[in-house]
Structure 1
Amino acid sequence: MTKKRLGRRIRLFVLVLLPLMLAIALPIFALVYAGGVVEIWWYQSLGLGFYFWQRLLYSYVVFAVLTTFFFFFFYLNFRLAARYMRIKPLAPKKVLLRFRRKAKQAKPRHALSLGASTERPRGSARLLHWLILGLHHLSLLVALVLAVVLAAPLYRRWEETLLFLFAPRAGLVDPVYGHDISYYLFALPLFRTMLFEVFFAFGVLLTILGIIYYLQFQALKKRGLNIAAGAKRHLSVIIALMFCVGIVEWMFQRHALLYTDSHTPLFFGAGYTEMNIVLPLIWSAMIMLVILGASLIWSLNTRRGLSLVVVSATLLAITVGLRYWDAIPAMVQDYMVEPDELARQEPYIRDNITATLDAFGLAEVETRPYRVPATASADRAPEDLDAAGLRNIPVWDRDMLIDVYREMQEIRSYYRFLSVNTDRYTIDGRYQQVFLAARELDFDRLPKDSQNWVNRWFRYTHGYGAVMSPAAQFGEEAKEWYLKDMPPRSEYGLTIEEPGIYYGMQDLYDVIAPNALGEISYPGQTGVVQDDYRANTGIPIDGWFRRAIFALYYRDYKLFFTTAIQPDSQILIRRNVPSTIRVVTPFLELDSDPYLVVTPGHLYWIIDAYTLSDRYPYAEPVNRNVGKHPDHWMASPIAKEFNYIRNSVKIVVDAYTGEMDYYLADPDDPIARAYQRMYPGLLKDMEQFPDALRAHIRYPQDLFSTQMSVYAKYHQTDPAVFYGQEDRWMFPQISRRGDTKTLLPYYVTLNLIDRSQFEHLLLAPMNPKGRDNMRAFAVVSSDAPNYGRIIVYSLPTGMLVLGLSQIDALIEQDSKIAEQFTLWGRGGAEIKRGKLILILIDDVITYVQPVYLQAAHGVKIPQLKRVIVSQGGKVAMAPSLEEAVAALREGQRQRAEKARKRTVTAPPPQPASSEPASTTPERLSGGRRPNASSASGPTPD
């Protein structure tokens, strides 16, 4: 090529190709770079910059370590193979000269260990030539490619690798092999994955070297030569290591037996068949694998013993076939286990019960017998009612209350109440249960002509304030508010210094605040009140560089040119609290019900987070068959299959600033402790939990629902009782107009655990499986010092206690209630019956159901009209809970008085007569047949 032609090509590249490449590459690079920069800025704004770099560095470190390991594994083996092939290293220049010479010469020279030759190699010799040349000169590249391919699957599981490295001991051991539970949670799944990768690496290496050594052997055999002894030793070591990997995998299969599900639905885990048939077969397979490996290596090096290899392989195949042949366990189950199943499976059932209770935090459940009569004492006067207890009964239904909040307190179309939370506050010196909700911004509810770019970025930036009302209320009275309106006002001393809600449950748009246009805060007396964001937790957007980055990030050039941005302006992004937490800590499972807390300073969100695992040995998983069998008894609101759960983390998010703090609520959880070690500074100790929020910590509803779903079967701790499943429970179900609803645990404020104080409790009624009467009810406290203490009140097995569906039927059949409903219906009102709940009033099992009226057309604001109360199968409806309970007691008093009068006026018994007693009915009844009115005992009303 002449210098003139070379110059033209250089100019063509500089003037045409280079600008074109830059025009394509620079925008792509800028967009990728903008996204990465914004991500870093966002983590720094949360105070989690170090955590961001930790996660990023951890993933690359794991990938680099694994890639390096596999690289040296392949490279050193390739170099060792090249040494045994007796190839002399060539400099890169000589390699290039050799290829050029080959292109020019018809018969090139080949300086290989096969000997110099003036003829072009043909067939297998030619293939061998290229393989050997590639093995020597491309070993670096081949080893690197293979290392990256093998490390990629493990890179995707980098967090599991680090959990294994940071995991502490759990302090519990499995009942079969005696390993700490941490081994099963962290080590076993990772070891099996790595074992597969290592076995695959050995297989690839053995294939490459086997082909090369075999081709060399064939070439040398023609010349009467033999392959080097080192090559045989090399292959022997690789084969031996492959067999070692296989033996270790079979050892891990012993541990995997603890996850057997062949005995479900009776119990989960290994049983008699696995421990006495399958486990010996696994040991036999391991022994046969050792024999096969030794005989194969011996035969490879001595060219003898082929028959031993064949026999060993045959026995191994038979053993493995028996291990995986389903007919063997089935025959053992049919002919050995089932004829005496309880005796043979008893120790394994016991292990399953113990492990499941431990895995779901149910090992320390306290059981108390409930011996109080189902009806209150008739001599109790209405004024003797426990006023504090009645004041905390939630007669309002959350599903109905949300409509009241929306109609009466949203005030503007762009505000929205998403959900109602329940909590407890001290109001006027009284500890009582309340409902509350946050008034969040919903920009999409603005009129279409107001949904412009300026309003979206600068004007409508946040929600404002909260509302709070008591859980109890008299019927036909105006709604009582503890906190209402904008700005928030209260007649009970509640104040909020900073009521703005910039971070909430709504999918909020990213905004810029403060800004030169002013933010709409709330509607005032003389117009809209504007306010400015006063925190510094957003991402600063001042400066042309940051504007350019965000303009690229959002693909919005207006952000670069707008004049509404001030020097102190910040951009607030990712303002949906649950979504943000999932981005920051994807390894935590979040509760489905985040709740709001009102403090004198700010509004806060508290979110419960769980650590889950499906690797707890012998513990039965939940959600395992829910998809196949919707009525499966073990189900959880958490949409995953798992057999271990802990509420290990409490997350607090400031609704105004967006600051997030993670607190380690369960230091005994090995998974949470491993994350705390892995990310120092992320999980704070509960001693640092803010005092203003500590009183509002509550036991999560999803967790308790999961626990009671498990406990419904595993409260039967005696293997004989468990085997018979005579006392399995279920959550109550109520069917109304073809719609069946399951009553999950709900919050109440009662003094069930400690009689001297009221506590915020979760209460769960439980029915016998397939029946409608009540069998037990469970409570768990949300208040210290009883937080997390689960108590199950067991009802007498021989006593009928009406369940919720039965009480619901009694309400439907009550003539007075039906008459009142009919009367209301004639007036055009729509009748809504709220959720039927179980509570205890003065230790008496009581059922409460609110009744609401709302307009059939137009604006629908549910109004609490009546409260239905049932005790002992009797039903009363009144405007208030107190009046309904008093009516029940008055009715009971009247029935008792009637029974007493009948007893007093009954004729005295006749003296015994000496004449023979007649057996005719006339003789017994004084000439008349007995009827119901003459029977002894109280007459049913």
Structure 2
Amino acid sequence: MQTLKSLPALAGAILALIIVLIVAFHFIFIDLFVDLWWFQSLKLEGYFWLRLLYKYFLSGGVTLAFFVIFFFHFWVASSYLGLNPREEVLNNFIKNQKFQRFADAFMYGSAKVYTPIALLLAIFIAIPFYNQWEQSLLYFFGGDSGVKESVYGNDVSFYMLSYPVYSLIQRELLITATLIFFMVGTLYWLEHIFVPDQSREFHLGAKIHLTILMAFVLIFVVWGFLLQRFNLLYTDSHEPIFYGPGSIEIRYQLPLIWLGIAAFLATAVTASLYIFSDKHRIKTPLFISAAFFVGVLVLPQIDFIPENIQDFIIDPNPVKTEKPFIQHNIDATLDAYDLKNIKTVDMPIKLNAAADIEKWSTQERFENIPVWDREFLLDSYKQLQEIRPYYSFLSVDEDQYSILNHTRQVNLAAREINISKLPPEAQNWENTHLRYTHGYGAVATPAAQDADKPVVWYLRDLNMQSDVGFDVKHPDIYYGEGQYDYAVVPNNLTVMGIAGTDPSVTGAYHGEGGIPVPSFFRKALFAFYFHDKNVFFSTNISTESKVKIFRNIKERVHKLTPYLHLDKDPYLVTTKDRFYWILDAYTLSPYYPVSKPTEAAASPSLEKFNYIRNSVKIVVDAFDGDVDYYIADPSDSLIKAYSNAYPGLFKNLQEMPNELRKHLRYPRDLYYLQMKMFAKYHQQSPELFYEQAETWTLANVNSKEVLPYYQTVNFGNCNDKEEFVLINPMTPVNRNNLSMIGAASVLDSSSCGANYKPGITVYKFGKDVQVNGPAQVEALINQNPEISAQFTLWGQYGSTVEMGRMIILPMGNSILYVQPVYLTSTKTKIPELSRVIVSIGNEVVMDTTLWSAFKHLKETYLKDAADSIGPGTSRAIVEPASK
């Protein structure tokens, strides 16, 4: 009967064990196996084990260390009883063996209690270390940057690599020491009351133990005060004037921190003497030191003192009192956002642009002006070149290629797979994972095109037709910007006519990427991993098949290196062999001292940061999925630490193949962020910074910011070599006239070689001549009766008129504006480049081609100059509508 009664309990235990094993197998072992196989397929198995080692060694080591600390003190407190009874009481306990039994039970039985307590406390304390183990990794593998902050004189790498770890350690050690002190004190107190007739004082051993624990608490509190000094470097109390500490923090709060340390030490010493010594039990020193300490703690919370300092000392003399602190903020921000090496060029503007127009009157100057906006071009690509319903263009990238012995700016887009556009009945398991597995090819068009004419194609169609020499051996795109599901290739299906133009040609995969599936064991594991039984039972998956997972390139890179922050705009590069994706990766930190924080799309995991470097260029093979990391900024402290921690993962930029390296460019997100910061911090003297008289803002058109755009420009550097640059115009705050044009390039202008050397040049205009900004040029266009009439006429034919991006081109001592005009038919929805508008000064010309519009602008401008009219009247020549 007893056996029968125990059967349900036994069955329940077995069932619970089975459930635990299944859950552990599924969520731990399967994921671990698949991750390992995936890293092996990328030839990064060593990196995989190294990350696991660091993660669990650091977190496990910290847990073990804190467990030993808790266990040791509990063991000391229970093994050595802090009892101090009178002699006759002790003899009585020994004679009756009560004391021995009590001691044995307490010393040996309590181990069953304090061991799990110590383990739970250790896990609780170690959780923050587990969550921040990669920050700890930077501490162990980092080094000095060679740049010192100007407030305390420490290397800035101390704040980015060490300071967060020290703050974490100090906080957790203080919690640990405080917990142990009170718990051990409670343990000694319980021991003290278990035996009657105890003497009033603890035993000497208990006093020593508690004194040591109090000393540790004292040390960690003092350490906290010392670290609090560095918190002053991140104060935002002076915003929006400047960021970082000012006179109040450095000359009022900082001395209070030092006084707090002295007051705390005095309080700790007098309290120890009062508690543990009858001879020195004097209340007066304790009260005095405690009152002093409380006063030091309370003073920073009293607002009237800093408010009076602000009202009567700082506000009457703001620049004089805050000048060194404003300078600290300027210097730190310029360095943290890599703005110190910006080259500023004063560009005088001439009212008479005749000489510049004459000099630029060669058609070669206009071969690379990007009149097609990628937003409009994407719609055209979709309508004209997706061809099959299961293909899709997700984005258009700008680049430059050598075409017909000349550098041409090109728009390029990958034709990616998108089976969601198939009929619902075709979106089955076999089609999704075995048949429609990849995109195919790309399209390319010149950035400069004539309006009112068919689109010129450099690369088009599924047969990869190209009249300019584009030829790709492996045009299949298995990895891209789309949200792809897993694919199993090659397989036993005969896939015909999906990618190519010949329906008899099969599209079997011949690459090396993916995880092999050589056995039923792996098939079974993948079936569990994907929650998909078809993986195991499908006869079309052979021993030659490979499973492709993490096929979105951003997801793929994030899986490998979650500590890198990616630019939101990867771009496609075509070579003779295959397509590649290049991604710009950033290292960010919120701990750069005195630097103004900001936010950007590059940091989804950080609310704010105040340091950024484009430290890594990442290349992803669109065919095989291989991922290669190249260090683009070896001066960055963060990437040096990661490179030391993960040897072999990051390569030198010189190791990148030349056919890829020549396509490196300045990243758009970084440049946008830098220009927004430089708009204020280009005022590098404290007086000018405080006045904010020359603060810039991004140029606006129709209440929208003119975002940075890529353009191939000849600035006269390197024997008139054209540069692929990012252009960004800025205007004064609350004004529309142009203040500057920023150009970000990667051309090494010093050697004129192919070395990657990113830099920014700001072409700054003087204040003596009015230079029209984009909004003012748009106003000239809208006010022109001929152009307005033409737009109205087009609207009557059932078309929508849309203005493209306004392109700004420095032209000698003049500024040329170019703006495309698009017509979108209400029937076909295909945008068409219909006209091009050019403008210099107040002259506006619209024509079908950029070159003819410029020639008409030249004729008009020179005629006005000859008639002594000058460029003060808005005029326009408009090519008659052809539709």
Aligning the two structures, in what range does the TM-score lie when normalised by the shorter sequence?
over 0.9
| TM-score normalised per structure 1 | 0.87
1:758 — aligned with what?
722
Distance 1:842 1:469 in 2: 29
SS of the aligned residue for 1:549 comes to helix
Looking at structure 2, the residues matched to 240 and 817 of structure 1 have their Cα atoms a distance apart, in angstroms, of: 83
State how far apart, in whole Å, the 2-side matches of 1:501 and 1:432 are. Answer: 24
Q: 1:352 to 1:593 in 2, by over 3 A?
A: same
Whether the 8 Å CA contact 1:831–1:852 is kept in 2: the answer is: yes
Q: Aligned in 2, Cα 1:114/1:879: closer, same or farther, shift over 3 Å? A: farther
Q: Distance in 1 between matches of 2:757 and 2:355?
A: 35
Partner of 2:561: 585
Deviations 1:480-506 (A, max 9, x none): 000001121100111000000000000
Structure 1 residue 142 displacement after superposition = 3.0
- Quote the Cα distance in structure 1 between the aligned partners of 2:601 and 2:20: 49
Residue 867 of structure 2 aligns to which amino acid in structure 1? K
- Shift of the 523–346 alpha-carbon distance from structure 1 to 2, 3 Å rule, reads closer
SS in 1 for 2:781: helix
Query: Is contact 2:680-2:696 (8 Å) kept?
Result: yes
Q: Are 1:208 and 2:183 an aligned pair?
A: yes
Q: How does 1:854-873 map to 2 (within 5 A)?
A: 854-856=824-826, 858-873=827-842
- Is 1:35 the counterpart of 2:31? The answer is yes
2:531 corresponds to which residue?
555
* Cα distance between partner residues in 2 of 1:243 and 1:499: 67
1:305 aligns with 2:282: yes
- Counterparts of residues 264-413 of structure 1 (less than 5 Å): 264-303=239-278, 304-373=281-350, 375-377=352-354, 385-413=361-389
Q: Which runs of 5+ in 2 are unaligned?
A: 84-88, 749-754, 876-883
Code of the aligned partner of 1:771: R
State the shift of 1:135 in Å.
4.5
SS for the counterpart of 1:849 is strand
Distance 1:940 1:475, change over 3 A: closer
Cα–Cα, structure 1 residues 544 and 352, in superposed 2: closer, same or farther, change >3 Å? Answer: same
- Residues 170 and 318 (structure 1 numbering): CA distance in 2 closer, same or farther, change over 3 Å? same
Structure 1 residue aligned with 2:214, among 233, 239, 255?
Answer: 239
Displacement, 1:353?
0.4
Q: 1:35 Cα shift?
A: 2.6
Hey, what's the Cα distance between the residues in 2 that align with 1:698 and 1:240?
Answer: 57
One of 764, 787, 807 as aligned partner of 1:794: 764
Q: Distance in 1 between matches of 2:68 and 2:720?
A: 70
> In the aligned structure 2, how far is the partner of 1:808 from the partner of 1:611?
39
> Is the partner of 1:587 in helix, strand or coil?
coil
Equivalent of residue 115 in structure 1, options 93, 114, 123 = 93
Cα separation, 2, equivalents of 1:5 and 1:893: 113
Give the C-alpha shift of residue 47 in structure 1. 1.4
Between stretches 825-834 and 720-729, larger displacement belongs to 825-834
1:511 aligns with 2:487: yes
What is the deviation of 1:765?
0.5
Whichever residue aligns with residue 621 of structure 1, its letter is P
- Matches of 2:784 and 2:503, distance apart in 1: 53
- Higher radius of gyration, 1 or 2: 1
Matched position secondary structure for 1:866 = strand
Tell me, yes or no, if structure 1 residue 69 matches structure 2 residue 39.
Answer: no
Could you tell me which residue of structure 1 aligns to residue 781 of structure 2? 811
Please state how far the C-alpha of 1:454 moved relative to its aligned partner.
1.4
Q: Determine the C-alpha separation between the residues in 2 that align with 1:497 and 1:364.
A: 42
1:837 to partner: Cα distance: 2.0
Mean CA deviation greater in 524-533 or 578-587 = 524-533
Which shows bigger deviation, 402-411 or 384-393?
Answer: 384-393
Give, in whole Å, the separation in 1 of the partners of 2:638 and 2:407. 36
TM-aligned CA deviation for residue 168 of structure 1: 1.3
Please state how far the C-alpha of 1:258 moved relative to its aligned partner: 0.9
The alignment partner of 1:262 has SS state of: coil
Q: 1:751 to 1:565 in 2, by over 3 A?
A: same
Paired with 1:770 and 1:937, the residues of 2 have a C-alpha distance of: 25
1:128–1:892 Cα change, 3 Å: farther
Amino acid paired to 1:44: Q
Q: Which amino acid aligns with 1:358?
A: D
| TM-aligned CA deviation for residue 19 of structure 1 | 6.2
Structure-1 residue corresponding to 2:792: 822
Q: Secondary structure at the match of 2:868?
A: helix
CA distance in 1, matches of 2:520, 2:459: 44
CA distance in 2 between counterparts of 1:339 and 1:841 reads 47
- Out of 47, 53, 57, the position equivalent to 1:57 is 53
Q: Give CA-to-partner distance per residue, 1:711-746, whole Å, 9 cap, x none.
A: 0000000111011010000001111xxxx2111211
Is 1:439–2:415 an aligned residue pair?
A: yes
Letter in 1 for 2:777: I
Q: 1:83 to 1:564 in 2, by over 3 A?
A: closer
2:757 is paired with a residue of what secondary structure? coil
Pick the aligned partner of 1:415 from 391, 395, 398. Answer: 391
Do the aligned partners of 1:375 and 1:845 also contact (CA within 8 Å) in 2? no
Deviation at 1:557, TM superposition (A): 1.8
Q: C-alpha displacement at 1:24, in angstroms?
A: 3.6
Native 8 Å contact 2:664 2:756 kept in 1? no
Mapped contact 1:236–1:300 kept (Cα < 8 A): no
Q: Is the 8 A contact 1:379 1:893 kept in 2?
A: no
Question: What amino acid is the match of 1:209?
Answer: V
- Match for 2:223 among 243, 248, 264? 248
CA distance in 2: counterparts of 1:66 and 1:113, whole angstroms: 45
What corresponds to 1:670 in structure 2? 637
Per-residue deviation, 1:380:
5.3
Query: What is the DSSP-based 3-state SS (H/G/I as helix, E as strand, rest coil) of the residue aligned with 1:506?
Result: coil
Single out whichever of 265-274 and 217-226 deviates more from structure 2.
Answer: 217-226
Tell me which amino acid in the other structure corresponds to 1:345: E
Which residue of structure 2 lines up, in the alignment, with residue 890 of structure 1?
A: 859
Helix, strand or coil: the match of 1:876? strand
Give the 3 Å change call, closer, same or farther, for CA 379–251 of structure 1 in structure 2. closer
In structure 1, how many angstroms separate the alpha carbons of the residues matched to 2:714 and 2:108? Answer: 84
CA distance 1:194–1:940, shift in 2 (3 Å)? closer
Contact 2:347/2:813 (8 A) holds in 1: no
Please state if 1:182 is matched with 2:157.
yes
How far apart are 1:299 and its partner, in Å? 1.5
Distance 1:311 1:221, change over 3 A: farther
Quote the offset at 1:582 in angstroms: 1.2
State the alpha-carbon separation in 2 of the partners of residues 680 and 807 from structure 1. Answer: 54
- What does residue 744 of structure 1 align with? 707
Aligned partner of residue 551 in structure 2, secondary structure:
coil
1:648 aligns with 2:581: no
| Offset at residue 128 of structure 1 (A) | 11
Aligned length: 859
Contact 2:499 2:507 in 1 (8 A): no
Distance 1:128 1:331 in 2: 63
Query: Are the counterparts in 2 of residues 378 and 893 from structure 1 also a CA contact under 8 Å?
Result: no
Q: 1:607-654 CA deviation, whole Å, 9 max, x = no partner?
A: 00000001100111113xxxxxxxxxxx67655411100000100000
Task: Tell whether the 8 Å contact from 1:271 to 1:345 is kept in structure 2 after alignment.
Answer: yes
SS in 2 for 1:787: strand
Between the aligned partners of 1:112 and 1:490, the Cα distance in structure 2 is 102
**Superposed counterparts of 1:830-909, under 5 Å:** 830-856=800-826, 858-899=827-868
1:147 to 108, 115, 122: 122
Partner of 1:573: 549
* 2:587 pairs with one of 611, 626, 632: 611
Maintained 8 Å contact 1:849/1:867: yes
Query: Quick one: structure 1 residues 189 and 132, their matched pair in 2 at CA, closer, same or farther if it must change by over 3 Å?
Result: same
Residue in 2 that maps onto 1:905? none
Q: How big is the shift at 1:850?
A: 0.3
**Letter in structure 1 aligned against 2:579:** L
Question: How far apart in 2 are the matches of 1:374 and 1:126?
Answer: 105
Distance 1:719 1:412, change over 3 A: same
Where 1:187 maps in the other structure, the secondary structure is: helix
- Taking structure 2 as the reference length, the TM-score comes to 0.93
User: What SS is found at the alignment partner of 1:854?
Assistant: strand
Alignment CA distance shift 1:65-1:473 (3 Å): same
Aligned to 2:674: 707
CA distance in 1, matches of 2:277, 2:170: 30
